[in-house]
Structure 1
Amino acid sequence: MIGYLARRIAQSVLVVFVVSVVVFLMLHRLPGGPRSMLGKTATPAQVAQLTRQLGLNKPLPVQYGKWVSNLLHGDWGFSITHNQSVTSLIGERLPKTLLLTTVSLAIAVLLAIVLGLLQAMRRNRFIDYLMTFISFVFYATPTFFLGLILVLLLAVQVPVFPSSAPQSNSIAGLVAHSNGLVLPITTLVLVSLALFSRYVRSSAIDQLTEDYARTARAKGASEARVLFRHVLRNVLIPVITLLGLSLPWVFSGALVVESVFNYPGMGLLFWQAATAHDYPILLSVTLVVSVATVVGSLLADLAYAVLDPRVRYS
C-alpha cells in the first residue's frame, strides 16, 4: 500500500508539473498581454513599465522558474484588475465556492442514491421511465438556460427567491442570506442529478443479479433488505469514482452558475480574469484545479479498498 501511494504521489507531482508548463505556455501565447490588462488608453510607457514589472520581457523558462519559485514561497502573483494579491483573492473566493459546490454535490448524491435505488427496484416500470425522462430533461438542458428559467419562474413571475446570490464577504453572511443560495444550488443539483442517478441505477441492477443477492433472497431476505444490507455498499463504488472526478469542480466552482447568479466564487473569478487577461489569476486557479484533479483521483482509488475488501493495492 505504501509503495502504491508513493508511486501515485510521484505520478501526481509529474502531472501537475506538466499541466503547469502547458498552461503557462498557452496563456503566454494568448493575444492581449499588458495592454489588455491596462486598457486601450494605456500609453506605451505604461505598457513597458507593466511588462518589466511582471517580468514578461524575460525568456519564458526564466519566467516559469520565477513563477514556480514564488509559488513555493506563497507568492501567487498580484492581480491588477482587482488590485489585490492572488493569494488573498483565492482565500476569499475558495470558501464561498466550497460552500456552494459541496452543498449542491451532497444534495445531488443523496437524491441520486434514493432515486437510483428506487428505479432499480421498479425497473422497466412507469416510475422508472418517468424518473429517467425527467432526469434526462434536466441533464440535457444547458446550465445557463436552466438557471435563467428558475430566475424567471421563482424570482420574477413568483418572487419567492432573489435573482442573484448574496454578495457577503464571509461565509456567515452568505448563510445568513441563504434564500439567495436556493436558486444556484437548485440549478447545480438538477443538472448533476441525472449523472449520479443513472450510475446508481445501473450499478444496482447489476448487483441485484449477482450470486450473493440471489443467495440472500433464497435465505428469505426481503428485497429491501437485500438492497440496503447487501447491495448498497457495492452500488456506491461508481459513485466514489464520480465524486473523485467532481473534486476539481468543487474547488474551481461552477463557472456558468456563478456567472448567471453573480455568485462571488472561484468560477466567477476565473471568468473575470479570462475576460481581463489577468494571467496571475488564470495560472493560479488552473494550478488549484490540476492539484484537485490528481488528489480526487487518488482519493477515489483509495476509497475502493474501503468499500470493496477485494481491492488490494501492492
Structure 2
Amino acid sequence: MRRIAGNLVFMVASLLAVSFIIFAVMAAVPGDPAEIMLGTSAAPDTLEALRHQLGLDQPFLQRYAGWLSGLLHGDLGLSYTYSTPVSTLIGERLAVTLPLALYAVALSLAIALPLGVIAGSRPNGPADIAATVFSQVGIAVPGFWIGLLLILCVALKFGWFPAGGFSGWRTAGILSSLNALTLPAIALAIPQAAVLTRVTRAAVIEIASEDFVRTARAKGATRRRALWRHVVPNALIPVVTMLGMQVSVLIAGTVLVENVFALPGLGTLAYQALSQRDLIVIQNVALLFAVIVMGLNFAVDALYAVIDPRLRARP
C-alpha cells in the first residue's frame, strides 16, 4: 500500500512538471491567438479587448496558475478556432478515441497471449516460426500503412467493414459503431500484438526453465498443467510491463490511424488544431495524453501486486 501511495505522489508531481513544460512550449510558439480568432484585419482595440478577455495580457506564471485552476474546475478554456469550450470538444472526441484504444488493446492481447504462449511452449516448432515471422513483420510495418492496406484489401474489395467515418454511438448504434472501429483497431493492434508476442514467447521460455517448474513436473504435473498453472502466470509480469510501456506508442499511432480512417477522435482533433494553430486545444490534448499514459502506467504498477504475490508482502 505504501508503494502505491508513493507512486501516486510521484505521478502527481510528474503531471505538474509535464503541465508546466506543455504550457511553456505553447506560450513560446509565435503567433497571436486573438488574431487567429478575429483575423488579421481586426481593429487593434478589439484585439486588445479579446486578449484581456482570454487573459493573454497577464504574466506567464499568472496565466499558468489560471490554467491549472481551470483544469481543477473542468474549465479548459475556449477553442481559438471553433469558439467552443475545449472540454466539450475533447469530450466528444474522447468518446471515439477511448473505445478505439480499448478495442485495439483487447485485440492485441487476444492475438499475442495465445500465440506467444504456444510459441514459447514449443521453441523452434511451426507455431514458434509463425510467431517469429508475425512479430518481425508487425514491428516493421507502421500502423497507418496497415490501415491503408485494410482499406484497400478488406473495406473496398469485400465491403465487410466501412472504409472510414464514424456516425456516432447514438446515431448508428453500438454494433455499427464497433463495426466502424474494427479496421482502425486492427491497424493499431497488429504492431502492439507483434511486440507482446515476442515478449510473451521470451518470458514463457525463460520461466519454463526455472527450478520450480521442473519441481512441479517432477511431482507429477503434466506439461499442460505446469504451463498454465506455473509458467503462464509468472510470464504475465513482463507482458504487463510492456503493455504499460506501449500505451504511449498506441496513442501516437492513434493520431495517424484516426486520420487515415477519418475518425472524429482526439488524434484528428490534435492534427486539425495543429494545422489551425489552435494552441489551447493542442495544450489540453497533450496534457490529456500525458494523464492517460501516466495513469495507465500507475494502474499497471498497481496490477503487479495482483499478478505477483511477492510484491504484496513488501512494505
Q: TM-score, normalised by structure 2?
A: 0.90
**Helix, strand or coil at the partner of 2:237:** helix
| Identity of matched residues, % | 36
**Helix, strand or coil at the partner of 2:310:** coil
**Helix, strand or coil at the partner of 1:310:** helix
Shift, 1:85, TM fit: 0.8
Q: Where does residue 4 of structure 2 map in the other structure?
A: 5
Distance 1:182 1:160, change over 3 A: same
Alignment of 1:43-58 (within 5 A): 43=42, 45=44, 47-58=47-58
Distance 1:173 1:48, change over 3 A: farther
Q: Where does residue 31 of structure 1 map in the other structure?
A: 30
- Alpha-carbon contact 2:94-2:265 (below 8 Å) kept: yes
Q: Where does residue 227 of structure 2 map in the other structure?
A: 227
* 2:78 maps to amino acid: F
* 1:123 maps to amino acid: P
Distance 1:30 1:137, change over 3 A: same
Instruction: Work out the CA distance in 2 between the residues paired with 1:174 and 1:93.
Output: 16
Deviates more, 1:35-44 or 1:80-89: 35-44
Instruction: Work out the CA distance in 2 between the residues paired with 1:174 and 1:274.
Output: 31
Distance 1:31 1:313, change over 3 A: farther
- Alpha-carbon contact 2:117-2:204 (below 8 Å) kept: yes
Distance 1:215 1:177, change over 3 A: same
Q: Deviations over 1:142-172 (max 9, x none)?
A: 2222111111112233333221032326486
Instruction: Work out the CA distance in 2 between the residues paired with 1:13 and 1:171.
Output: 38
- Alpha-carbon contact 2:78-2:85 (below 8 Å) kept: yes
Q: Where does residue 146 of structure 1 map in the other structure?
A: 146
Instruction: Work out the CA distance in 2 between the residues paired with 1:101 and 1:114.
Output: 20
- Alpha-carbon contact 2:213-2:226 (below 8 Å) kept: yes
Q: Where does residue 241 of structure 1 map in the other structure?
A: 241
Shift, 1:302, TM fit: 1.8
Alignment of 1:32-181 (within 5 A): 32-34=31-33, 37-38=36-37, 42-43=41-42, 45=44, 47-168=47-168, 170=170, 173=173, 175-181=175-181
Shift, 1:295, TM fit: 2.2
- Alpha-carbon contact 2:188-2:250 (below 8 Å) kept: no
Shift, 1:290, TM fit: 2.2
- Alpha-carbon contact 1:253-1:266 (below 8 Å) kept: no
Instruction: Work out the CA distance in 1 between the residues paired with 2:41 and 2:253.
Output: 33
Q: What RMSD in Å do the two structures reach over aligned CA positions?
A: 2.4
Structure 1 residue runs without a partner (length 5+) = none
Q: Where does residue 191 of structure 2 map in the other structure?
A: 191
Instruction: Work out the CA distance in 2 between the residues paired with 1:287 and 1:250.
Output: 16
Alignment of 1:302 with 2:302, yes or no, is yes
Distance 1:142 1:41, change over 3 A: same
Instruction: Work out the CA distance in 2 between the residues paired with 1:167 and 1:83.
Output: 23
Structure 2 residue runs without a partner (length 5+) = none
Q: Where does residue 291 of structure 2 map in the other structure?
A: 291
Distance 1:129 1:50, change over 3 A: farther
Q: Deviations over 1:271-299 (max 9, x none)?
A: 11122222222222222222223322222
**Helix, strand or coil at the partner of 1:84:** coil
Shift, 1:246, TM fit: 4.5
Distance 1:180 1:144, change over 3 A: same
Shift, 1:86, TM fit: 1.2
Instruction: Work out the CA distance in 2 between the residues paired with 1:36 and 1:170.
Output: 37
Q: Where does residue 278 of structure 1 map in the other structure?
A: 278
Q: How many residue pairs end up in the alignment? A: 313
Instruction: Work out the CA distance in 2 between the residues paired with 1:14 and 1:215.
Output: 45
Q: Deviations over 1:247-283 (max 9, x none)?
A: 5567788111111101111111111112222222222
Distance 1:42 1:137, change over 3 A: farther
Deviates more, 1:175-184 or 1:242-251: 242-251
Deviates more, 1:29-38 or 1:91-100: 29-38
